Amino acid sequence: MLGVRAALKLGSERLRWVHLILGSATALKLLDEPIYGG
């Protein structure tokens, strides 16, 4: 079923983007806060 395969591919790409954005936001938050306890 081509539709299911396309949907799975689209979903995996979307998950990859969400993971990337969440990881970047977490990294920025960690960089923004004092790392060595101020």
pLDDT of the chain, 38 residues: tens digit per residue: 678 998 889 899 999 999 999 999 998 888 877 666 55
Provide the CA 32 distance to its chain's centre, in angstroms: 19
pTM: 0.56
Number of domains in the chain: 1
Q: How far apart are alpha carbons 30 and 27 in whole angstroms?
A: 5
Q: How far apart are alpha carbons 11 and 13 in whole angstroms?
A: 5
Q: How far apart are alpha carbons 38 and 35 in whole angstroms?
A: 7
Is residue 17 in some structural domain? yes
Its domain, for residue 27, covers: 1-31
Is residue 16 in some structural domain? yes
